[in-house]
Structure 1
Amino acid sequence: MNGKIVSCGIVLLDPDGRVLLAHATGTNHWDIPKGQGEPGETEAQSARREMIEETGFDVAASRLVDLGRFAYRRDKDLHLFAARAKADELDLSRCVCVSLFPRREDGVMIPEMDAWRWTAPAEVDRYASRSLARLFDASLSLADLHRRL
């Protein structure tokens, strides 16, 4: 291992090739559902658990396409999977985040993600963190992924 943290996530695309982004509470950026694995989890199990915790969507392992590991930041790599959203996953009003963290100001436990959106590849730069936007721009074309799924 190179000592980097590995965060596992799912790039969920709708039928039009838009990517699911979740708003990180208390920040100005949106992200794909992702996070670090827990002891004993495979990358796919970690990605699925993070998706459930951050959206409420349970994406079956059989639906996942393993995209592999990507350089993300100096301290973190991403192991990503892709899936096409099913009809019952298109309504983002159904999303719920059960992963909580303490709010900086007062320690009150709040959801890690507080909003969700389908985002066209051309709009990702407007919403996503620089690291995620760079990954989709340089290493993982959403348009190519849309054609592959």
Structure 2
Amino acid sequence: MNGKIVSCGIVLLDPEGRVLLAHATGTNHWDIPKGQGEPGETQVQSARREMVEETGIDVMASRLVDLGRYAYRRDKDLHLFAARASADELDLSRCVCVSLFPRREDGVMIPEMDAWRWTAPRDVEHYASRSLTRLFDTTLSLAELHRTL
């Protein structure tokens, strides 16, 4: 083990190959639903739990394709899974985030994610962090994933 944090997440694509991004509350960054595992969880369990907590979408494990582990930042790797959104998962107005954190200014508990969008691969760089944009540009092609998923 290299001592890096491993964050598990799901790359959810719609029928047109757009990726689901969630807006991190209080920042200008959008991200895929992901997070660290809890004790005793497998990577797939962590990824599914994070997706439910951050979007309300429960992607059954049988639908997930294990993409493996990717170098992400100096201190963090990502273990990613992919799935094609089903028809009942396309309406992002139904998304809800139940994962809360204390707002810096006043300690009020607020949702970790506060908006969701389907994002074309060419537009990811306008929303996502440099680390996520670089991953999709260099190592994990969303266009290729769209063709093979």
Q: Matched residues in 2 for 1:53 and 1:79: separation?
A: 17
Aligned twin of 1:23: 23
Q: Matched residues in 1 for 2:25 and 2:130: separation?
A: 17
Letter in 1 for 2:102: P
Normalised to the residue count of structure 1, the TM-score between the two structures is 1.00
Aligned twin of 1:131: 131
Q: Matched residues in 1 for 2:44 and 2:117: separation?
A: 23
Structure 1 residue 69 and structure 2 residue 72: aligned?
A: no
Normalised to the residue count of structure 2, the TM-score between the two structures is 1.00
Q: Matched residues in 1 for 2:139 and 2:109: separation?
A: 35
Aligned twin of 2:49: 49
RMSD: 0.2
Runs of 4+ in structure 1 over 3 Å off: none
Q: Matched residues in 2 for 1:130 and 1:114: separation?
A: 20
Percent identity reads: 89
- Return the offset for 1:72: 0.2
Aligned twin of 1:94: 94
Q: Which runs of 5+ in 2 are unaligned?
A: none
Could you list the per-position Cα deviations for residues 91-144 of structure 1 after superposition, in whole angstroms to 9, with x for gaps in the alignment? Answer: 000000000000000000000000000000000000000000000001000000
- Return the offset for 1:75: 0.1
Q: Matched residues in 1 for 2:44 and 2:72: separation?
A: 18
- Return the offset for 1:147: 0.4
Structure 1 residue 145 and structure 2 residue 149: aligned?
A: no
